[in-house]
Amino acid sequence: MTIKAILRNGVIQPIEPLPQNWADGQELVVEDPQMDAAPLEIEKWSRELEAAAAKVPAEEHDRFRRAMADIERESKEAVRREWGLP
C-alpha cells in the first residue's frame, strides 16, 4: 500500500489517513519519488493541451467566458439573497 506524505523539518508527515491496521512502531519503507520522468510528462501534457485548445474556435472561448461570468454573477446574487443583502 502506498501512502502520500511530505517531509517537513526532517519529519515525515502523512497527508492522508493511515490504514487502521497499521500499528505504532511498525517499520515502513520510504522511497524517493521518481521525479525524472515528471518534468517530461508535464511538458508533453502541456503541448497536448495547447494543441487541443488551439483547435477550439474563438467563438467557443468567448461563449465559455460569458458562461463563467454568468455563473459568477448568479452565484453572487444567490448569496446576497441568502444573506438578505441588496
Show me where the domains of the chain are located: 57-86
pLDDT tens-digit map of 5-58: 999 999 999 999 999 999 999 999 988 877 666 788 888 999 999 999 999 999
Q: Give strand pairing partners of 40.
A: none
pLDDT tens-digit map of 54-83: 999 999 999 999 999 999 999 999 999 999
Write down the pTM of the prediction: 0.44
pLDDT of amino acid 3: 87
Distance CA 3, CA 20 (A): 13
